[in-house]
A and B are shown apart, each in its own frame.
Chain A
Amino acid sequence: MAAGETLLELNGVTKRYGAVVAVDGISASLHPGEYLCLLGPSGCGKTTLLRLIAGFEVPDGGVVRLHGRDMTSVPPERRDVNVVFQNYALFPHLTVAENVGFGLRMKGVPRAEARERVTDALRQVRLEREANRLPRQISGGQQQRVALARALVNRPALLLLDEPLSALDPELRQQVQDELRRVQRETGIAFLHITHDQDEALSLADRVAVMRSGRFEQIGTPREVYAAPASRFVASFVGGANLLEGRVAGEGWVELGSETSVHVPGLGAPADPAEPITLAVRPEAVRLANGDSGEGLPGRIIRAAFRGSEVEYSIEATSGWNVSGGLLRALVPAGVGAAAEGDTVRLEIAPTDWVVIRGGTTNGAG
């Protein structure tokens, strides 16, 4: 395959169930060897999209192309794609080794070669010793690794992972994330990893696709998605940004309320007078300053939660501005200007830390 050639191409893919549109005209591409995370809340259509790519469902509209070939009439068993299922779907009546070797057996790979590949795969996920056990005899984490090995041993061009970490304990999650990344690098297989956990997506992926109500709201590198969210949804879903509504008062100026204006460099003149706009700011970009007077947005601390290395403040706007959800979140390194609940504070935000999301409250909808 020539470099730069697309591995997976989705072109206007749509899927409906009765009146519900689960996947709404999605177009995107995936490159060979790429790690793409599909991030979105429950019900956004990500599992449906996975099933469409794997071949368990057929799109009502649009085309799925793999290696440039139209996959519409190709059933799952003949696609160069493998799936790691959410609950692993290990065959309870087969041993670990038999599970892993299942795909090879189905395709008629000669026994000797199959045995070797199975051993390799097991070694790769470090489960050689469990080869002859049954799924019910091993732990959840081990089962997940078996599921992974079972998919990988077939050397697919694309691996689909359906919320692979959701059933695991938090300590295990980090470990498995590292494993996944390592295995992906080693094998060079493209991974399409579905999750609702934004930390997971940001840390693992080469690119992140943020999905909502059947559409991609944004596709980009983790940095892009984090720092330059294309919509309110992306901003709040990824990184939990605070969203402030206001109007463009002039070039580089946004009016947040009757008394408050902030300087936002690089902001062009408004198309209409008093054009609505949403400004997003990350919790860690908010600094607290003392007192009732001075620069910054006025507020009062409702709650201060200690988080080890930092303190999370929930702050209520006292006048002249408001924040989506009612409370602004600020993450401040512990030990720096500690404030207590009930304190009146000023919130200082560097102008460059404002992220502009055009269109105000209607952004992202429809």
Chain B
Amino acid sequence: MNSSDERRVKAPPAALSGGVYVTPAVLYLVLLFALPLAIVAGYSFADGDLGGGLTLENYARAFDPLYVGVLLRSAWLALATTLLALLISYPCVLALRTLSPTRRILTLALLVVPSWLNLLVKNYAWIILLRREGVLNSLLQGMGLTDTPLPLLFNEGAVLVGLVHTYLPFMILPLYAAVDRMDWSLVEAARDLGAGRWRTFRHVLLPQTRVGVLVGSALVFIPTLGAFVTPDLLGGPTSLMIANVIESQVLQARDWPMAAALSMLLVALVLLATGLLHRVTRPYPAAAE
């Protein structure tokens, strides 16, 4: 055995190509995302204008219970939307599996297409559907289910409906991908062992499709948190959400530093939620032998 046989070997060449794949996107995001964000961060610490000195006062003002209250309410609404979307999507996706392949693709496409419709117009159509003299109320009254028109609009319920309608396809797609990939024999094994439907769902289906559930939840929760058109149109007098507040800081109050501080807080909140998400969806490390 000569000494050259025992020499150390450098890291495998594969690591280099990983970098090559990743670099274009990273460069892009740094230039067109990180940089503007840095500007916003700069504003949040700015005393007046950028370059006018640093201060923490903007954050102090942002922590006002008024704003925190709005933030929490927005988070709650976003959570409700996500859960509702999940509740609806799961049976849909399971039902999709029972269709023939062509029908399945067709139905999937049908489910996705509404997401391309302009948000504002969809919301406005909901107004037509939900208002006191609207389609739904006319239907209900016509069927004799109610005597007086129901207040279906201009409240948080209507906002919820509008949000779920907009973001449902974003939950369906990843969930479908996850269920499609799953090893269905596990479900059969569970049923064979005597598990009822609910327990099979809870102990087999849910864990196996965990990644899909979490991706879908992220795709719904996060944009919903930043929604402002839907609460504006469909909501009642007190349905203000955090994005509305930030917008009014930028446009009405023209208070850039404040808007920036509030934005940073919003970002921090979602980062927290995302951090949790990341820990739970960490892919299994490659096993050695």
Closest A residue to B12 by beta carbon equals A58
Q: Quick check: B288 and A20 within 8 Å, CB to CB?
A: yes
A75 within 8 A of B: yes
Q: Quick check: B12 and A57 within 8 Å, CB to CB?
A: yes
Q: Is the interface of A mostly helix, strand, loop or mixed?
A: mixed
Q: Quick check: B9 and A60 within 8 Å, CB to CB?
A: yes
B13 within 8 A of A: yes
Q: Encode contact with A along B1-30: 1 for CB under 8 Å, 0 otherwise.
A: 100111111111100000000000000000
Q: Quick check: A63 and B13 within 8 Å, CB to CB?
A: no
Q: Encode contact with B along A2-33: 1 for CB under 8 Å, 0 otherwise.
A: 00000000011000010010100001000000
Cα(A60)–Cα(B12), bound, Å: 11
Q: Quick check: A58 and B1 within 8 Å, CB to CB?
A: no
In the assembled complex, the CB of B34 is this many whole angstroms from the nearest CB of chain A, namely 33
Q: Considering only CB atoms and an 8 Å cut-off, how many residues of chain A contact the other chain?
A: 20
Q: Quick check: A12 and B5 within 8 Å, CB to CB?
A: yes
Q: Quick check: B1 and A11 within 8 Å, CB to CB?
A: yes
Cα(A110)–Cα(B7), bound, Å: 41
Question: Which of A43-51, A112-120, A287-295, A342-350 forms part of the interface with chain B?
Answer: A43-51
Q: Is the interface of B mostly helix, strand, loop or mixed?
A: loop
Which of under 10, 10 to 19, 20 to 34, or 35 or more describes the interface residues of B? Answer: 10 to 19
Q: Quick check: A62 and B289 within 8 Å, CB to CB?
A: no
Interface centre among B4, B6, B8, B289 (most CB of A within 10 A): B289
B149-163 contacts to A (CB < 8 Å): none
Closest A residue to B2 by beta carbon equals A11
Q: Quick check: A47 and B289 within 8 Å, CB to CB?
A: yes
> Which among A45, A46, A59 is the interface contact of B9 at CB below 8 angstroms?
A59
Q: Quick check: A17 and B288 within 8 Å, CB to CB?
A: yes
Cα(A63)–Cα(B12), bound, Å: 15
Cα(A17)–Cα(B12), bound, Å: 14
> Which among B4, B5, B7, B289 is the interface contact of A43 at CB below 8 angstroms?
B289
> Which among B5, B8, B13 is the interface contact of A60 at CB below 8 angstroms?
B8
A61 within 8 A of B: yes
Q: Quick check: A75 and B6 within 8 Å, CB to CB?
A: no
A184 within 8 A of B: no
Cα(A47)–Cα(B7), bound, Å: 23
In the assembled complex, the CB of A215 is this many whole angstroms from the nearest CB of chain B, namely 14
Name the B residues within 8 Å of A27 (CB-CB): 1
Name the B residues within 8 Å of A47 (CB-CB): 289
Q: Quick check: B289 and A63 within 8 Å, CB to CB?
A: no
Q: Quick check: B288 and A62 within 8 Å, CB to CB?
A: no
A63-114 contacts to B (CB < 8 Å): 63, 72, 75
Name the B residues within 8 Å of A62 (CB-CB): 5-6
> Which among B4, B8, B12, B288 is the interface contact of A48 at CB below 8 angstroms?
B288
Given contacts A12-B5, A57-B12, A63-B4, 12 further A-B contacts (CB under 8 A): A20-B288, A27-B1, A43-B289, A48-B288, A48-B289, A58-B10, A58-B11, A59-B9, A61-B9, A62-B6, A63-B5, A75-B13
Q: List 6 A-B contacts (CB under 8 A).
A: A11-B1, A12-B1, A17-B288, A27-B1, A43-B289, A63-B4
The interface of chain B, by Cβ under 8 A from chain A, is: 1, 4-13, 288-289
The interface of chain A, by Cβ under 8 A from chain B, is: 11-12, 17, 20, 22, 27, 43, 45-48, 57-63, 72, 75
